[in-house]
Amino acid sequence: MNRPDPRLLLGATCLAGPIALALLSLAWTPFAVNGLDIAHRLLPPDAAHPFGTDGFGRDLLSRSMAGLRATIATALAATGLGAAIGIPLGITIAASHERRSAPLRRLADLVFAFPPVLTAAMLAALWGGSAAGAVVAIGAFDVPVFARIAAAAALPVLAQDFIAASRLAGRGPLGVLWWHILPNIAAPLIVQASLQAGIAVLAEAGLTYLGFGLPPPAPSLGGMLKDYQSALGAAPWLVLIPGALVTLLVLGCNLLGDGLRDRLAR
Amino acid sequence: MNAVLTLRGITARRGGHDILRGIDLDIAPAETLGLIGASGAGKSTLARIVLGLDRPDGGQRHLAAAGVQAVFQDPQGSLDPTHSIARIVAEPLATRRVRRPERARRTLAALEAVGLPATLATQRPGSLSGGQRQRVAIARALIADPALLVADEPVSALDVSVQAQVLNLLRDARRERGLSMLFISHDLAAIRHLCQRVAVLHDGRIVECAPAETLFATPRHDATKALLTGRPLPADAALGR
Amino acid sequence: MLLELDGFGATLGSLTLLRGIDLSLSPGDSLALVGESGSGKTTLALALMRLLPEGAQLHGHARLDGTDLTRLHEADMRRLRGRRISMVFQEPLRALDPLMRAGRQIAEAGGDPAALLAHVGLSPQTARAWPHQLSGGQRQRVLIATAIAARPALLIADEASTALDPATQAQVLALLDRLRAEHAMGLLLVSHDLGLVAATAARLAVLYAGRLVETGPTAELLARPAHPYTASLAACSLHLRTPPPDTILPTLPGLPPGPADTLPGCRFASRCPRAEPDCLEAEPPLATLDATRAVACLHPL
């Protein structure tokens, strides 16, 4: 009965490697991330450079590690931003009177109607391409997603007598939210957060590819795909490896989300 | 003596309907007032207003002393499934910033007072029976020494064998602590057993309010008569045929 | 005999849900299954409808008009359900389809909405109403109308009146009793409160922890209960006698054992005021007291 869901295991396995590499890059990379070495340019993977080198002789493993770090950090920050604004917003919508929350609902719909690419393009036009711009653009897209899930999950919880009992015990609105509502709606939110993290990885890669994210030379997986696409014929590993890492992260997040959904649903 | 609760001209509208049309009610110290009425008469709306959970659309509510607590009908929904029993019972103390050792001591005392073993303290509501859950709810309601307890159908979801235990607990609370109580139920036998006075809510108004014995012996209002005669005394009918 | 249970039981894996139930019901007769939560009364009702969870196994015999329900194929059972044997549930809002008008639900059950609504004391306009527009009592009546639409020989009512206010409660029980008499229908009431069903059921069957502990005519059983558990239940019910106001009520402390507890001896022994050492040795068999009564107790009252 207690056998872990194979999707949970597989998802965790998919994520474990990339996350370990990203964390390791904080302390150590085999070569300098932006260290040029023209003599060893476009080397295919071998013992010294397991992922090969790029057109400037930069070690692709080191760049991938740093790129993973940037992509994962952006995805987590964007998902966190979306959750931090979306969840309280959703609970507020659920708790307030239909008529009073209508403007909030419309606003959420409006934000939802903007694709993140458009938001990011607008922000890039204002501030220039930046990691913060990508975080805000993806986070803004996540806000209504979390708001909807939180509102739908909070509605039945708010009607429970233990919410009334907690108010009688002297808890204010924030106390009730923190102690009673959040723990009771955590399951669907955790599931959604892992799915949104997967979407954010893909969105970050996409935005950077389009030039709206982290500016070069700092590596990110999307930026690497953009930089190396012209070398696809000559050095296919330069595109395949960052592409595979993006796939691994997205797949891991989705498997984890699906597994958690069944495990937490009960 | 001064009333613990005073309601004057309470009105409430919900969804375009007048649910309460001017309620005047007093509850004296250590008095248990029963509230009866057909389904949809507005009993639960009135309970939420007395508790201060909802605002009335008109009229005044005055509590003489601080502290009103509640015991609800559904013992499953009134306990947060993610919290331990100890945490649930201690919540009114936690918000009053009572220090931890003191909180733990009073929590165990409160559990003991409702006849629950201390071993339950670390468990979650899901592993308790309906009767045990309702006792936890009573322990939580009494731990902060409220002046008034609102019990909204506290026994109707429980087994007969457990109903009597809960009614005994509520009776003890009134006698030992001088607790005032608003006891709402459609179980006339429970009302009759526990309440000194009974108010009849009909069509948004209190149509009759009298000492329990008087009300059950000589109901005056038609709504009261309908409620009381709705059920023939089954025991008599069964034993007599 | 309409319904005949003979050593009827149900197991789910290693759990014994019901064991050794002997009961019978004639057409036009009424019987109430009484006991606390976990006594097996609802399980017995669901077992007769063959609505227990997947994997549950039935034992012994349960004959409806001579057809053994325990041996019947699911397809044949489906033909009986709602036609020969029907059930009214406690929570009418959940048992009615919220997206279907009342009249259509009755028609789907195979009956004439106008006639059946009149039969259960509702106006013909009720046919046009959605379930959420009806009061609790009206919903329960609509549910009863769907349950009797196909003129079942046996109607099971599981706490059908418990959630209602007293006036409506009495009306619903009176309605069930009238339908029983008019259609010579077997009526099986399920309740946790002896007092609530005492006026409607001619006979009582008291269940405890999945076993039948006492059965007999209602009046005799209430006047002279033989099983200590029956006596305790009756003492707890405020609806059987009015205790002096503001006194301590008799209680029945403790909890019944669950289906996973496999203790030797009488299942009630741990809570029984009359328990003797021999009660813990073997489960007492159901023994007849006289022509109409039976009790499973070594030291009956």
Q: What is the pLDDT of residue B226?
A: 82
Taking CA A130 as the corner, what is the angle to CA A124 and CA A134, rounded to the nearest 5 degrees? 80
Q: Does B26 touch chain A if contact means CB atoms closer than 8 Å?
A: no
User: Chain A within 8 Å of B95 (Cβ-Cβ)?
Assistant: yes
Q: What is the pLDDT of residue C204?
A: 95
How many inter-chain contacts (B to C, CB under 8 Å) are there? 116
What share of chain A has pLDDT > 90, as a percent?
Answer: 29
What does the pLDDT read at residue B241?
A: 28
Q: Inform me whether the C-beta atom of residue C220 falls under 8 Å from chain B C-beta atoms.
A: no
Residues 6+ apart with CB under 8 A from C26: C1, C2, C186
A160–B78: do the CB atoms touch at under 8 Å?
Answer: yes
Nearest residue in A to B54, CA atom: A164
Our CA dihedral for A89, A92, A93, A95, rounded to 10 degrees, sits at 160
Structurally, chain A folds into a number of domains equal to: 1
Instruction: Judge: B38–C165 Cβ closer than 8 Å, yes or no.
Output: yes
Per-residue pLDDT at A265: 66
- Cα separation of B238 and C197, whole Å? 9
pLDDT in tens, B115-153: 899 999 999 999 898 889 999 999 999 998 899 999 998
The highest-level CATH class for domain B1-67+146-231 is alpha beta
Q: By CA distance, what is C163's nearest residue in B?
A: B156
Residue B230 contacts C, CB cutoff 8 Å:
yes
The reply to whether C271 touches chain B by the CB within 8 Å rule is no
Q: For position C5, what pLDDT does the model report?
A: 94
The B205-211 sheet, strands edge to edge: B68-71, B148-152, B180-184, B32-36, B197-202, B205-211
Chain B interface test: which of C177, C249, C255, C272 (most B C-beta within 10 Å): C249
Contact C198 B38 (CB under 8 A): no
How many beta carbons lie within 10 A of that of residue C231, not counting itself? 20
**Closest chain B C-alpha to C87 CA, distance in angstroms:** 21
Contact B91 A166 (CB under 8 A): yes
**Cross-chain Cβ contact C166/B186 below 8 Å:** yes
Cα C227 to chain center, whole Å?
A: 19
Question: What 3-state DSSP class applies to C116?
Answer: helix
Using the structure block, give the residue that is written with the tokens 């009610």: B25
The pLDDT value given to residue C170: 79
C167 in contact with B, Cβ within 8 Å: yes
Q: Is residue B1 over pLDDT 70? A: no
**How far, in Å, are A165, A183, B81, B90, B136 from residue A179 at the CA level?**
12, 7, 12, 13, 18
Q: Does B192 touch chain C (CB under 8 A)?
A: yes
Query: Distance (Å, rounded) from C-alpha B38 to C-alpha B54?
Result: 21
Distance of CA A163 to the CA centre of its chain: 32
Q: Where do the structural domains in chain B lie, given as residue ranges? A: 1-67+146-231, 75-145
Q: How far is C241 from chain B (nearest CA, A)?
A: 7
Residues of B in contact with A164 (CB under 8 A): 48, 51, 53, 70, 72, 78
Per-residue model confidence (pLDDT) at position C247? 86
Low-confidence stretches of chain C (pLDDT beneath 70): 92-93, 163
Average pLDDT for chain B:
88
Residues 6 or more apart from B86 whose CB is under 8 A from it?
A: B104, B107, B121, B122
Q: Do B192 and C37 touch (CB under 8 A)?
A: no
A48 inside domain: no
Domain assignment present for residue A20? The answer is: no
Interface contact C165-B230, CB threshold 8 A: yes
pLDDT value of position B93: 94
Least confident of A98-107, B151-160, B200-209: A98-107
Which residues of chain A are within 8 Å of residue B107 when distances are taken between CB atoms? Answer: none
- Please write the tens of the pLDDT for every residue from C146-197: 988 888 999 999 887 776 777 777 778 888 899 899 989 999 999 988 887 8
With an 8 Å CB cutoff and a minimum of 3 pairs, decide whether chains A and C touch.
no
Query: What chains are in contact with C, requiring at least 3 Cβ pairs below 8 Å?
Result: B
pLDDT of amino acid B139: 95
Is residue A42 assigned to a domain? Answer: no
Taken in order A190, A191, A195, A201, the sign of the CA dihedral is positive
- The verdict on residue A16 lying in a domain is no
Half-sphere exposure of B174 (CA within 13 A, CB side): 25
B232/C contact by beta carbon, under 8 A: yes
CA–CA min distance B215, chain A (Å): 31
Rounded to whole angstroms, the Cα distance separating B214 from B196 reads: 10
Of A162, A171, A184, the CB nearest to B95: A171
* Cβ-defined contact of A161 to B91 (cutoff 8 Å): no
Cβ–Cβ gap B39/C136 under 8 Å? yes
Instruction: Provide the domain limits for residue A213.
Output: 72-265
Give the nearest chain A residue to B67 (CA atoms): A168
For A167, the closest chain B residue by CA position comes to B53
CA distance A43 to A54: 7
- Band (pLDDT 50/70/90 cuts) for residue B211 is very high
Question: Between A165, A171, A180, which is nearest B70 by CB?
Answer: A165
List the CATH code of the domain at C28-46+152-295. 3.40.50.300
CB-CB neighbors (< 8 A) of B237 in chain C: 198-199
CB contact (8 A) between residue B80 and residue A161: no
Cβ separation B70–A164 shorter than 8 A: yes
**At least 3 CB pairs under 8 A between chains C and B:** yes
Check A183 against B80: CB less than 8 A apart. Answer: yes
- CATH number of the domain that A203 lies in? 1.10.3720.10
- State which residues of chain A have pLDDT below 70: 1-3, 97-99, 265-266
Name chain B's partners: 3 or more CB pairs within 8 A.
A, C
- The alpha-carbon gap from A48 to the nearest alpha carbon of chain B, in Å, equals 53
**Which residues in chain C have Cβ-Cβ distances shorter than 8 Å to B227?**
165-167
- With an 8 Å Cβ cutoff, is B61 touching chain C? no
Set of chain C residues whose Cβ sits within 8 Å of the Cβ of B239: 219, 222-223
Ramachandran bin of B67, using left for φ above 0, alpha for ψ from -120 to 50, beta for the remaining angles: left
**Single pTM value for the model:** 0.82
Are C168 and B230 inside 8 Å of each other by CB?
yes
